Copies of this chain bind each other. A is one copy, B any other.
Amino acid sequence: MGFSFGKDVRMRGFTETLSVEEAWKRFTENVNIKKMEVEEVDILQSLNRVLAFDVFSPFNIPPFNRAAMDGYAVKAENTFGASKTNPVILRVVGSVEAGKSSNVVVGDMEAVKVSTGAVMPKNADAVVMVEYTEVLDGEKLVVYSPVYVGANVSKAGEDVKAGEKVLSKGTVLNPHDLGLLAALGFKKVKVFRKPKVAVFSVGDELTDLGENRRLLNGKIFDSNRYFLLSAIKNIGGEALDLGIVGDDVEKVRLKLLEASSKADLTIVCGGTSVGEKDLVPKAVSQTPNSKIVVHGVSIRPGKPVALASVNGKPAVLLPGYPVSAMVGFHLFVRKIFCRMLDSPQLENLCVVKGKIIRSVPSNLGTRDFVRVSLRKVGEEVYVEPVRISGAGVISSMVKADGFVVVAEDREGLKEGEEVEVILF
């Protein structure tokens, strides 16, 4: 026999599994999660990046009082009492088109033609919409309706005041934010550098994707790495693919060194439980300036997850079972990104409420992540558990829309109970 289970393996076991909060506390107390440096990028490159500074408006928006409608800029009081049968006659003394500067002034009983967006002429305080006017002889304006002071005018600073804080550091920039930054004239935007995350998988049973889809007996395709590389991309990281390493402590150790030298965070998938083939913790312990800080968390699935320091940098060791790996990722890697990018927003999850349609058992003392799918019938949202157990069942993650979390102090969920679903 090429290998044996020593007694030490069983005794090591997971004698101590920590709660998620305890695990996180111990990790952050023992491992330095460095904040990313700031870099300046073109505004269109800043989409979905994390803003690195508070943005204060350098000027008013709009920058000037402007016409909000096509029509005539007037003194409002001159139009009071105007009606269809008893119109007011004003004299047209000029015009301002949008985008043009102008020194034209509106005097008493005068009007200036304006197009939407035009600078309001001096002394005018309202715009009569073109629909309520008629022009006679090119300069006599017949006004059929009164306007109040400020009517159809956008005041300077009405949208944003000069000096106002419009966006906060840590914002993940969406298209609306980019629109606002453009309105303020920002061609370049300061954002946090994308965290570099190195990923590799461990296991003799793993085959990498290749030109054909043949598997040798006993082998499976490495799926976790592709989940991880793309999930990292989606939360704003730069993923480095370091491939697959066989079950060999020394090779894992060398790969850990490579990963930690190239990346800000290392994620290893597989080989992290307490069987003798679970050699990643062993490899960490043989690497200088490295240690396992947490090994075993009270979650299901995902219990064998470990958090470590490798070469002074953070590392997350995920179990090889696909669903365990995914839960471990959603729980810890997002949190690490929040720290690196100084952005609490990254942890905001989209939550939907609904009624669970089947009871779900769960153990006291463990936080269970139940995969569920959603179905909307009329006003009611029904939550259906996709599969209660089976950490290896990758198809369940595809069928599921999200997780329901069963807290440590609950022995399960009751049919018909209202639950919160954390959407993927």
Residues of A within 8 A of B (CB): 1-5, 9-10, 13, 43-44, 47-48, 58-59, 61-64, 68, 70, 92, 94-102, 113, 115-119, 130-131, 135, 138, 154, 158-160, 166-167, 174-187, 203-206, 209-211, 213, 215-231, 233-234, 241, 247, 273, 275-277, 320, 322, 326, 350-353, 390, 392-398, 423-424
Contacts and interface: CB of A to CB of B under 8 A. Distances in A.
Contact of A179 (B218, B219, B227): B227
A117 B205 contact: yes
Nearest to A46: B230
Given A204-B99, A275-B70, A222 B182 contact: yes
A178 B94 CA distance: 64
A277 B97 contact: yes
21 contacts: A2-B97, A3-B115, A44-B230, A64-B217, A68-B392, A97-B204, A99-B204, A99-B219, A101-B217, A102-B218, A116-B275, A117-B203, A159-B393, A159-B396, A174-B424, A175-B231, A176-B326, A176-B397, A179-B223, A179-B322, A350-B352
A10 B44 contact: no
A424 B221 contact: no
Given A176-B227, A182-B225, A183-B220, A275 B393 contact: no
A276 to B, nearest CB: 8
A186 B209 CA distance: 7
Given A1-B113, A97-B2, A62 B220 contact: yes
Given A47-B234, A180-B395, 9 more contacts: A3-B95, A63-B215, A99-B204, A101-B218, A118-B218, A179-B322, A182-B223, A183-B322, A185-B209
